[in-house]
Chain A
Amino acid sequence: MELEARPAPAPVPFRGSAPFLAKAPPLWLPMRHFVLSAAAWWVFAAGFAWGADRFLGFDFQARWVLGLTHVLTLGWVAATIFGALCQLTPVLWETSLASETAAKAAWWLLAAGLLSFVGLIWGGGDQYWRGAALLAGAVALYLFVFGRTMRSARKLDWTGVHLLFAFAYLAALVAVGAALAWDRQRGILFRSGDGALIAHVHLALVGWVSLTIVGVSYRLVSMFALAHVETKVLGRLTLTLVNVGLVGLALDSLYFGRRLTPLWASLLALAYLAYAAQMRKIFSARLKRIDPALAFTLLALAGGALWCALGLGLAFGWLEDTTESRLAYVFAALVGWVTPFIIGQMHKIVPFLVWLHAYSPRHWTPPVRVPTIQDLTSERTAWLELAALALGAGLGVAAFLSGSQPLLRASGAFLLACATLYAGNIGYTLSHLRKKGAK
């Protein structure tokens, strides 16, 4: 082979100038979401640790619990998902984000809505539907941005199909949630506030969040595990069962007095079983060791199984339907299933984005010396986060089921440790932007 010397490239910015970044959304669009969500996760964990005594023996609609739950669901879960989708949807669908301006405006509305909604709940005011209106505006803007981006997609892949359903459920849950907030003092719209709340919670946890996780996991977990298997047979079964079970549960809760709850719960549990079987295939075919991100995904799968078991227990009456058992059920979903999945993916996504913007050069002259993704994050800290979250989630569910205050306090302490370590680790990753003078 004859090697030909190439002329030296013209001087150009070396770092963070990869050509495809011209089409990618600006770094601080997803990143502002991730910073907001890390702060919300920390506030939730601190509030949970500090106010653990308020969780047991109180009505689950009590203001403290209601506010803290929305810090977790809107600030931590929704902000992370919206930020990730700002980055992911253009990549998935090989197009540009429809409107960066609208996405930024949506972030401001989300942040303002979260602060006012939770602030008004905690402040004792009755006007917190105003915060809900801001949040509804934020969601409408996000749906506009992602919908327009989807319209210009070259093809809608399997993850995109899941996101399409998730967006529909997001719109439905906001409609039910806003109506619930408005109707809470009036009692006009919903004859059974409990049924409407159950519909709202499941549209959020199953339809919006879990379908997003399931769809995204087929893409991201496969990529991070370096495992590629056919996803569509079990995936189609999962998607069908989720849709039938969730729509049935929501309509039954809203209008028919929850007569068939065991049937809908069984369908949703079967959907989870099919999804877990698919994930087992992916993990079996992986080419790399279990790193913290994959371990977080395994923890999420265990948390999801616990969530399903508690749901079946409540639906079939094996578990007494008390405030505490409902809290255990929702806690298992949010802290046991959703949170580990989010943290696991964030430990890949954030360093990857920072790497792209700080280290991806336009011209490459061997030998190329750039850090790896692993250099941008602390693996040891991530393992500690995992241990703290596993203990916090497990102890929390046990505490709610047993009514134990000491266990609840211990759970809160572990969750706070996890959130603090997570914030520190993400901060460490972001510090590479400053050190390297990236754009």
Chain B
Amino acid sequence: MEHALDVCGLEPPEPLVAILSRLNALAPEDVLVVRHFREPIPLYPYLEEGGYEHATQKLAEGEYRVRIWRRRGA
């Protein structure tokens, strides 16, 4: 199941807080789809360490889509 989260109107570091706050509730088959205004580089080490995988796409200037899901076995 996909869950959408738009953090485009939030100022750093609020997007980071908003995204991380949603992760604990993510079931193994769920995907969090985040709409972001830039590539969230500080987020990636958190995801790696917390057992999540991600894929980031640049859709347009100032528009990124980050898909986050639990790593298998994590």
Our pick among B1, B41, B46, B62 for the contact of A229 (Cβ within 8 Å) is: B62
A368 to B61, CA, bound (A): 30
Q: Give the residues in chain A near B49, CB-CB below 8 Å.
A: 19, 362
A362 to B62, CA, bound (A): 28
Could you tell me which residues of chain B, from 24 to 55, have a CB within 8 Å of some CB in chain A?
24-25, 27-28, 30, 37-38, 41-42, 44-46, 48-50
The answer to whether A20 and B11 touch (CB under 8 A), given A364-B23, A368-B17, A370-B17, is no
CB distance from B9 to the nearest CB of A (A): 5
Q: Give the residues in chain B near A228, CB-CB below 8 Å.
A: 37-38, 61-63
The answer to whether A4 and B28 touch (CB under 8 A), given A228-B63, A229-B61, A230-B61, is yes
The answer to whether A368 and B21 touch (CB under 8 A), given A223-B12, A373-B11, is yes
The answer to whether A1 and B23 touch (CB under 8 A), given A19-B46, A356-B13, is no
Q: Give the residues in chain A near B10, CB-CB below 8 Å.
A: 226
Our pick among A226, A230, A364 for the contact of B8 (Cβ within 8 Å) is: A226
Interface size counted on chain A using CB atoms at 8 A: 36
Q: Give the residues in chain A near B28, CB-CB below 8 Å.
A: 4
A91 touches B20 (CB 8 A): no
A296 to B16, CA, bound (A): 26
Q: Give the residues in chain A near B3, CB-CB below 8 Å.
A: 1
A366 to B17, CA, bound (A): 10
A18 to B48, CA, bound (A): 12
CB of A94 closer than 8 Å to a CB of B: yes
Q: Give the residues in chain B near A23, CB-CB below 8 Å.
A: 45
In the complex, which of the residues A4, A224, A370 has the most CB atoms of chain B within 10 Å of its own CB atom? A4
Our pick among A20, A227, A370 for the contact of B42 (Cβ within 8 Å) is: A20
A23 to B41, CA, bound (A): 12
CB distance from A287 to the nearest CB of B (A): 5
CB distance from B58 to the nearest CB of A (A): 11
Our pick among A19, A222, A355, A367 for the contact of B45 (Cβ within 8 Å) is: A19
A366 touches B9 (CB 8 A): no
CB of A383 closer than 8 Å to a CB of B: no
Q: Give the residues in chain A near B38, CB-CB below 8 Å.
A: 223, 228
Q: Give the residues in chain B near A224, CB-CB below 8 Å.
A: 11
Our pick among B1, B13, B44 for the contact of A360 (Cβ within 8 Å) is: B13
Q: Give the residues in chain B near A360, CB-CB below 8 Å.
A: 13, 16
Interface residues on B, range: 20 to 34
Q: Give the residues in chain B near A370, CB-CB below 8 Å.
A: 17
Which chain A residue has the least Cβ–Cβ distance from B9? A287
Q: Give the residues in chain B near A20, CB-CB below 8 Å.
A: 41-42, 44-46
CB distance from A61 to the nearest CB of B (A): 45
Our pick among A230, A287, A364 for the contact of B24 (Cβ within 8 Å) is: A364
A288 to B8, CA, bound (A): 11
A107 to B9, CA, bound (A): 37
Q: Give the residues in chain A near B44, CB-CB below 8 Å.
A: 20
CB of A233 closer than 8 Å to a CB of B: no
A22 to B14, CA, bound (A): 21
Q: Give the residues in chain B near A352, CB-CB below 8 Å.
A: 12-13
Q: Can you list, as one digit per residue, whether each of A347-381 has a CB less than 8 Å from chain B (1) or not (0)?
A: 00000100110001011111110101100000000
A94 to B37, CA, bound (A): 18
Q: Give the residues in chain A near B14, CB-CB below 8 Å.
A: 372-373
Q: Give the residues in chain A near B23, CB-CB below 8 Å.
A: 364
Q: Give the residues in chain B near A2, CB-CB below 8 Å.
A: 27
A18 touches B42 (CB 8 A): yes
Q: Give the residues in chain B near A91, CB-CB below 8 Å.
A: 41
CB distance from B46 to the nearest CB of A (A): 6
CB of A434 closer than 8 Å to a CB of B: no
Which chain A residue has the least Cβ–Cβ distance from B43? A20
The answer to whether A1 and B37 touch (CB under 8 A), given A229-B62, A230-B61, is no
Q: Give the residues in chain A near B9, CB-CB below 8 Å.
A: 226, 287-288
A1 touches B21 (CB 8 A): no
The answer to whether A18 and B11 touch (CB under 8 A), given A223-B38, A366-B24, is no
Q: Give the residues in chain B near A4, CB-CB below 8 Å.
A: 27-28
A373 touches B30 (CB 8 A): no
Residue pairs across A and B with Cβ atoms less than 8 A apart, 20 shown, are A1-B1, A20-B45, A20-B46, A223-B38, A224-B11, A226-B8, A226-B10, A226-B37, A227-B62, A228-B37, A228-B61, A229-B62, A287-B8, A352-B13, A355-B13, A356-B13, A360-B13, A363-B50, A364-B21, A373-B14
Contacts A227-B62, A362-B49 aside, 14 further interface pairs with beta carbons under 8 A come to A1-B30, A3-B25, A19-B46, A19-B49, A20-B41, A94-B41, A223-B12, A223-B38, A224-B11, A226-B10, A228-B61, A228-B62, A229-B61, A287-B8
The 4 A-B residue pairs with the shortest CB-CB distance, nearest first, are A228-B62, A19-B45, A364-B20, A20-B45
